[in-house]
Amino acid sequence: MLVWWGISRLAALLAFWLLDVLGPRGYIPATMFRTPLAVLGAWDGVWYGRIAQHGYIVLPGTQSNTAFFPLFPILLRGLHALFGVPYWTAGALVSNLSLAVAVVAFYELGLHVVGDRNLARRAACFMAVTPMGLVFSMSYPESFALALTSLVLLAAYADRWLLAAALVAAAVLARPEAVVCVFPLAAIAWAARGRLDAGARGRALASVLAAPAAAVSYPLYLWWSLHDFGAWGTAQTHWGRSFSLAGPQRAFAALLRPGNERPVLVRDLVFFILYAALLVVAARRGVGSSWIVAGALVLVLPIFSGSFESEGRFGLLALPVYWAVGALVRRRRRELALQLGSLALLVGGVVMLPYLWP
């Protein structure tokens, strides 16, 4: 598993180097090509770096950085202060190393959930090479949240409920969709209730409540610091996302409108369909309903914002998807073909990054 992690990260870094060689193009500013591999901090990485450097700032009527949750920029600020590295370098280091932790932790989690060592290994290897995993090398929090999510559920299986509570709160403050951990976490706690004493049951309940509590803590912080409880939602609106029951209808309508973002939307629609199909496979292969519900919510909730944009990236946190892939490629040749094909798509995704943002 760690071999495939190393191969995939080397392939991604070589692709980013190739991006430097090709030079400025697309929507990435030319200034980012003046420093080798600075494009690892492109797109959302720029915003995380600005939060780490300046904190949260509300700009009325325009895009504001309050759309991004705080834990990842806190890490960037700490690494910059301790070691003097640029913010994008700190983010790339966290992302790449977090993926190694995520791959191993997810393998251990798979032993509990699917009970098949080989399937768990194949799923973890696919996590390392998944095509949209290009963000696992960038200054993005996805791999960090993925590692925390896997560790949360491992801690729950080990009855380490307070550790699970701390980890799930951290995961949510890194990426808000990690709040769906509450479903498998609650299922694990419910299954264990018969052998837990009163104190342990209380700690288990605390771990389940920690995820929604962490999600609420961010707007409370914005209310305290910026006097605007709704700053996150307002920022999402200016980023083209407005949550409502009509969101899915608007998301499909956006696919029919011409514009520069259309290739991105088509790509993310394809990933959405693929992830949804893999969730069905996972359900049929016996993955528990709490896991399927969590994975489905990771995919469906963003659509209520009115766009399919970034579904390919959001779906990286839908854990049953990886187990479904592991179940489908039982033969070694198919597994190897999938891994090599995924690596090719990953490299292609990096090269097209100036035009197809993650």
Average pLDDT over every residue of 157-182: 98
What percent of the chain lies above the pLDDT cut of 90?
Answer: 93
Token duo for residue 139: 């200054």
pLDDT score at 240: 83
pLDDT score at 327: 97
H helices of 23-60, in order, are: 44-54
- Please report, in angstroms and rounded to a whole number, the separation of the first and last CA atoms in the chain: 25
pLDDT (tens digit per residue) in 193-244: 999 999 999 999 999 999 999 999 999 999 999 999 999 989 988 888 889 9
Residue 335, pLDDT above cutoff 90: yes
CA distance 4 to 6: 5
pLDDT score at 223: 95
Q: What is the pTM assigned to this prediction?
A: 0.97
pLDDT band at 114 (very low <50, low <70, confident <90, very high): very high
Is residue 346 within 8 A of residue 15, CB to CB? The reply is: yes
pLDDT (tens digit per residue) in 36-78: 999 999 999 999 999 999 999 988 888 899 999 999 999 999 9
Q: How far is CA 100 from CA 199, 322, 330, 349, in A?
A: 34, 16, 23, 21
Q: What is the mean pLDDT of the chain?
A: 96
pLDDT score at 292: 98
pLDDT score at 259: 78
Sorted by sequence, the CB contacts under 8 Å of residue 342 that are 6+ apart come out as 126, 129, 130, 131
